[in-house]
């Protein structure tokens, strides 16, 4: 039986211990020794087997090629970051001036660069803060503004994984005043409900579903005169109107229409890190900033760095995916199929925004079609590739895949054949 210290002393294993940590590497050594005892591995091959079994990273998360056609896939970490955002996070991972004014040597405002980048991107906002996700932003607003919150009954939605907006709001101690019916609500419903105890009127974008038929809703512009703050949760993080998504609400338009505060996610159509963004009236934002709960919800330096770089830097990947033409996608698909040969095919497909954005909107796309039995080995490969099954084939949609990963996609499919 190879001794533990002898295996750990192997130069390749020792180098891995420096990179991955001694305890992680030692656990792999122990597992290989058990295989030697069981007769699965010859003792002479133990060191080679340890090296082959070592993970590539100390973390358990894997880089995955997203070929699902869902641009903002919650199960795959939502928005992929731009190179500028990744570089900013690496720089911020050490000691940084997140709360230090280097000119004076005194304490400075936290994350001022990210806040100014947000205000530049959304001119209708007077001030902004950042918390760790949109649900946290809504909880902070409900806690801080307090009292009774007026909200349309049809907007009390479930946001995924069993979490429901009314449960979140009531957990803060706020009282909900539901108005209207499931499918219809009028301005008179809101005005009749507003009283001395009203903290705010909430306007919550349904995000992941659409109600059609005999329906009616009240727009932010109509609510602006009800006499209490109007808070709009627009969900997907679209900063300004985008021609590809004409029905998706955006922050700039919603604030300009009269909302006092808007809330959204940072890791959806904005294309940045997970974050909850609150923009709007300076006095209300300052109240949120000074509330004790804000301290528990604020983000770290790496999130601030990634957010600022996303806002100031090059077009993030999600927007490139959204704006890619079908002709560009077809050219890429034809190149992938030519490299694969065999039974790979170019097929038309339909992509989606995902992450609760534009639930009924389908983006025309192009996919590479391969046999259905490749779906599982592709997911288990290195790197893992996640596509989807349709009409007895595995489809690998290129709209959700970075063009720089086309070569890796070819290699992954070849390895599974």
Verify that 276 and 332 share a domain, yes or no.
no
Q: Which of 290, 314, 338 is the last residue of a domain?
A: 314
Verify that 89 and 213 share a domain, yes or no.
yes
Place of tokens 């006092």: 260
Beta bridge partners of 164: 158
Verify that 149 and 252 share a domain, yes or no.
yes
Verify that 280 and 345 share a domain, yes or no.
no
Beta bridge partners of 351: 363
Give the separation between CA 218 and CA 413, rounded to whole angstroms: 50
Give the separation between CA 83 and CA 86, rounded to whole angstroms: 5
- List the helix and strand counts (H, then E) for the chain: 18, 17
What is the count of structural domains for the chain? Answer: 3
Digit-coded pLDDT (tens) for 248-305: 899 999 999 999 999 999 999 999 999 999 999 999 999 999 999 999 999 999 999 9
Q: Which of 294, 314, 334 is the last residue of a domain?
A: 314
DSSP, collapsed to helix, strand or coil, labels residue 242 as coil
DSSP H or E run through 262: strand 261-265
Q: Which of 314, 338, 360 is the last residue of a domain?
A: 314
Digit-coded pLDDT (tens) for 223-245: 998 999 999 999 888 999 998 88
Q: What is the mean pLDDT of residues 383-395?
A: 96
Q: Are 369 and 393 in contact (CB under 8 A)?
A: yes
**Taking CA 345 as the corner, what is the angle to CA 387 and CA 389, rounded to the nearest 5 degrees?**
30
Specify if 31 maps to a domain: yes
pLDDT of the residue at 207: 67
Q: Is the pLDDT of residue 14 over 70?
A: yes
Give the separation between CA 278 and CA 213, rounded to whole angstroms: 33
Verify that 387 and 360 share a domain, yes or no.
yes
DSSP H or E run through 250: none
Report the mean per-residue pLDDT for the chain: 94
pLDDT of the residue at 417: 84
Backbone angles phi, psi at 368, to 5 degrees: -100, 125
303-328 CB burial, b ≥16 within 10 A, e <16: bbbbbbbbbbbeebbbbbbbebeeee
Digit-coded pLDDT (tens) for 68-95: 999 999 999 999 999 999 999 999 999 9
Verify that 258 and 376 share a domain, yes or no.
no
Query: Per-residue DSSP letters for 14-29?
Result: HHHHHHH-HHHHHHHH
Which CATH number does the domain housing residue 347 bear?
3.90.1150.180
Specify if 26 maps to a domain: yes
Q: Is the pLDDT of residue 246 over 90?
A: no
Radius of gyration of the chain (CA): 25
pLDDT of the residue at 162: 77
Q: What is the residue range of 410's domain?
A: 65-76+319-416
Q: Which residues contact 198 (CB under 8 A, 6 or more apart)?
A: 147, 148, 149, 150, 177, 228
pLDDT of the residue at 208: 64
Q: Residue 214's pLDDT band (boundaries 50, 70, 90)?
A: confident
| pLDDT above 70: percentage of residues in the chain | 99
Specify if 370 maps to a domain: yes
Q: Which residues contact 158 (CB under 8 A, 6 or more apart)?
A: 164, 165
Measure the CA dihedral 123/202/296/58, to 10°.
-80
Verify that 378 and 405 share a domain, yes or no.
yes
Verify that 163 and 295 share a domain, yes or no.
yes
Specify if 58 maps to a domain: no
Q: What is the mean pLDDT of residues 163-181?
A: 92
Backbone angles phi, psi at 158, to 5 degrees: -95, 130
Which CATH number does the domain housing residue 299 bear?
3.40.640.10
Specify if 60 maps to a domain: no
Query: Per-residue DSSP letters for 49-75?
Result: HHHHHS-SSSSS----EE-SSBSS-GG
Digit-coded pLDDT (tens) for 117-154: 999 999 999 999 999 999 999 999 999 998 899 999 98
Digit-coded pLDDT (tens) for 334-369: 999 999 988 999 999 999 998 777 777 889 999 999
How would you classify residue 124: left for phi > 0, otherwise alpha for psi between -120 and 50, otherwise beta? alpha
Specify if 124 maps to a domain: yes
Closest CA to 276 of 266, 268, 288: 266
Q: Are 351 and 70 in contact (CB under 8 A)?
A: yes
Verify that 298 and 330 share a domain, yes or no.
no
Verify that 326 and 373 share a domain, yes or no.
yes
The reported pTM is: 0.91
User: What are the strands, taking DSSP E only, across 114-250?
Assistant: 127-131, 148-152, 158-160, 163-164, 175-179, 198-204, 230-235
Q: What Cα–Cα distance (Å) separates residue 154 from each residue in 18, 150, 360?
A: 55, 12, 18
Verify that 49 and 175 share a domain, yes or no.
no
Specify if 59 maps to a domain: no
Specify if 142 maps to a domain: yes
Q: What is the mean pLDDT of residues 194-198?
A: 94
Verify that 373 and 232 share a domain, yes or no.
no
Measured distance between the N- and C-terminal CA atoms of the chain, rounded to whole angstroms = 37
pLDDT of the residue at 210: 72
Q: Are 220 and 203 in contact (CB under 8 A)?
A: yes
Closest CA to 149 of 159, 141, 158, 157: 141
């Amino acid at each position: 039986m190879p001794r533990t210290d002898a295996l750990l002393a192997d130069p390749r294993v020792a180098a891995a211990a420096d990179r991955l940590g001694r305890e992680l590497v030692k656990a792999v050594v122990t597992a290989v020794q058990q295989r030697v005892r069981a007769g699965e591995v010859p003792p002479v091959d133990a060191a080679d087997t340890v090296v082959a079994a070592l993970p590539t990273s100390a973390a358990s998360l894997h880089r995955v090629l997203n070929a699902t056609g869902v641009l903002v896939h919650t199960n795959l970490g939502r928005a992929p970051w731009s190179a500028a955002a990744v570089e900013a996070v690496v720089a911020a991972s050490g000691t940084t001036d997140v709360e230090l004014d280097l000119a004076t040597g005194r304490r400075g405002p936290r994350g001022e660069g990210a806040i100014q980048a947000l205000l530049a991107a959304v001119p209708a906002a007077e001030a902004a803060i950042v918390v760790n996700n949109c649900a946290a932003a809504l909880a902070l607003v409900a806690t801080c503004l307090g009292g009774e919150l007026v909200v349309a009954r049809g907007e009390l939605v479930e946001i995924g994984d069993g979490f429901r907006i009314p449960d979140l709001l009531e957990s803060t101690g706020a009282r909900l005043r539901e108005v209207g019916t499931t499918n219809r609500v009028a301005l008179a419903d809101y005005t009749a409900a507003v009283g001395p105890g009203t903290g705010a009127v909430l306007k919550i974008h349904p995000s992941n579903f659409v109600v059609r038929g005999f329906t009616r809703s009240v727009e932010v512009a109509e609510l602006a005169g009800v006499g209490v703050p109007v808070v709009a949760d627009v969900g997907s993080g679209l900063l300004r109107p985008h021609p590809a998504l004409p029905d998706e609400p955006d922050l700039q338009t919603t604030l300009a229409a009269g909302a006092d505060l808007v809330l959204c996610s940072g890791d959806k159509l904005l294309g940045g890190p997970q974050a909850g963004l609150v923009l709007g009236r300076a006095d209300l934002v300052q109240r949120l900033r000074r509330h004790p709960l804000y301290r528990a919800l604020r983000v770290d330096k790496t999130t601030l760095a990634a957010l600022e770089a996303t806002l100031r830097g090059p077009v993030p990947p999600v927007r490139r995916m959204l704006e890619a033409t079908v002709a560009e996608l077809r050219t890429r698909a034809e190149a992938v199929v030519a490299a694969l040969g065999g039974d790979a095919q170019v097929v038309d497909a339909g992509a989606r925004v995902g992450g609760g954005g534009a639930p009924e909107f389908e983006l025309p796309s192009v996919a590479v079609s391969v046999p259905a039995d490749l779906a599982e080995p592709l997911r288990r490969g290195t790197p893992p590739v996640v596509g989807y099954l349709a009409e007895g084939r595995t489809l690998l949609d290129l709209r959700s895949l970075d063009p720089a990963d086309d070569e890796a996609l070819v290699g992954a499919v070849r390895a599974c054949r």
